[in-house]
Structures are given as structure tokens and as C-alpha cells.
Amino acid sequence: MLNKNLSQMNSTEIKEYISKVLSDNSNNYDYELLINLLLEDERKSVKKISDRVKLFVENREKEINRVTNMYKFDLEFSKSTYIAGVDEVGRGPLAGPIVAAAVILDLNIDSTQDLLLKINDSKKLSEKTRTELDLIIKERALSYRIEEISGEEIDEKGIAWCNNEVLKRTVIGLDIKPDLVLSDGYAIKNCPFENKFVIKGDSKSASIACASIIAKVYRDNLMKEYDKLYPEYKFEKNVGYGTKEHIEAIEKYGCSPIHRKSFLKNIMNFINN
């Protein structure tokens, strides 16, 4: 509901009110009415605030169209089956596990208010946005699953095998068995369900994008916990990737129990020589 008594508010109060309205994810507002109320106000400073609301509405419509197309992309495969989007994060770091997530969404929505706005390739989103979406995705998903494979198993069996295996374990572990699995980038070997891969799927498919987000939030949070155990490596900052600061810490302190020894051969050979 809109507060229609804008005339009784000063410009600072109106700006604060507008900020609250535009940050409310429920979108239960008549923005056209709000713009008209602002324009009808005699104060120039208040009229000018309407430009901010207009820009918000324009951007929101673009976002609705973008995300609608992501839902449509998935629905083109089938409108009557369970589609699981699956993605992994952490293939390339020097430390920590590789993590995968699978998500089954209700793609047949009745209202734009049911769209998961802002979903995208997790790397394109801020940490704040990913964290907010992580909760919403888990709440709305028909089913989701997260799996991880440790750095120790990566050293033992190789990253290629572990990458495929963690994706496979994730889709197998879903409470709802999917009729189709959409994977990002490449097909899953020995997948027990029909599987199609999508190049840059985390920016095209709603289901894959959601999987990308919850996988990254899970792994980032895990690396923050490891940072408390091994603060010298700054895992909270680099989440295990080979930044200059991280490599310098390895050279100084050696490997931690969560480092992937097979990824550090060149670094360790350099140190030992």
C-alpha cells in the first residue's frame, strides 16, 4: 500500500520513504500512482524525486523481461516435466572443495511477482545479492541439493573426475527425480537422467543460474569458516584462489590441510629449490 499523504511529509522524509519503497522486494506498489503523486506535489524537489521512481520502473521492466526469458529458455525444453539446473563452483582454486548444486524450480508461474528477479551467473552478482537470493531460491525451489568433494579427493582422483562426480552426485541426491538435467558448459558423464548442456547456461537458464548462486554462497561461506582455522591464508578474501597474497602465504607457511597438493606442485618445487 502507498502512503498517499506525501503532502504532510518534508522532502527528506519523502526521499526516505521512496528509498524504502524501491528496496522492498515484494513490489506490492502502484508505481504509476506514486509517480503521479510526486508530480502533483507543488515542491520542485519532490517533483524531481519522480525521476528516480521512473528510472526504477524502467529498469525493473528490463529485469522482468530478462528473467522471464530465462524461465522461457528452460520451458522450451518441456512445460510438463521436472527440470533440474546444475552447476559447480571451485574447479580452479588452490584450496578447498569443489561444490555443486542442483535446483528444480516451478517454471510455470502465474505472476511476475513470482519471478526470481536478479538471478544470473553468480560471478556477476554482488555478495549481498547472492546471499539474499540464496535464501529466496531455497525457499521457493521445488527441490535443491548441494554436494562437495574435498581437496584430498581431488588430489587422489583428479579434478576432471571430481568435477563430473560432484555434478552427478548432486542431481542423484535431489528429493524430486528430474526428467531432464540442464548442466552448464558440458554434459555430465554417466548421468542417470536425460542431460543437455548449455554453453554459458548460468546466464541463459533460470534453473542453472539458481544452482550457480546457491553453490557459490555455500562454498564462500565454507571458506570463511576455514579462514577462522587458517587465518594466515586469507581464505575469506580469496576463497582459495591463487591470488598473489595467497601464494605468498603458501611460500611462507607451507600447505594447510585443505590445500590441493596436486595444484601446488610448481609452487612447492619453486619453494624447495
Residue numbers belonging to the annotated binding site for a divalent metal cation: 87-88, 184
- Phi then psi dihedrals of residue 264, to 5 deg: -110, 10
- Phi then psi dihedrals of residue 174, to 5 deg: -65, 140
Q: Where are the alpha helices (DSSP H) in 158-264?
A: 159-172, 206-229, 235-238, 244-253
> Per the annotation, where are the binding residues?
87-88, 184
- Phi then psi dihedrals of residue 84, to 5 deg: -105, 130
Q: Is 190 left (phi over 0), alpha (psi -120 to 50) or beta?
A: left
Closest CA to 142 of 65, 68, 74, 190: 74
CB 227 within 8 A of CB 212: no
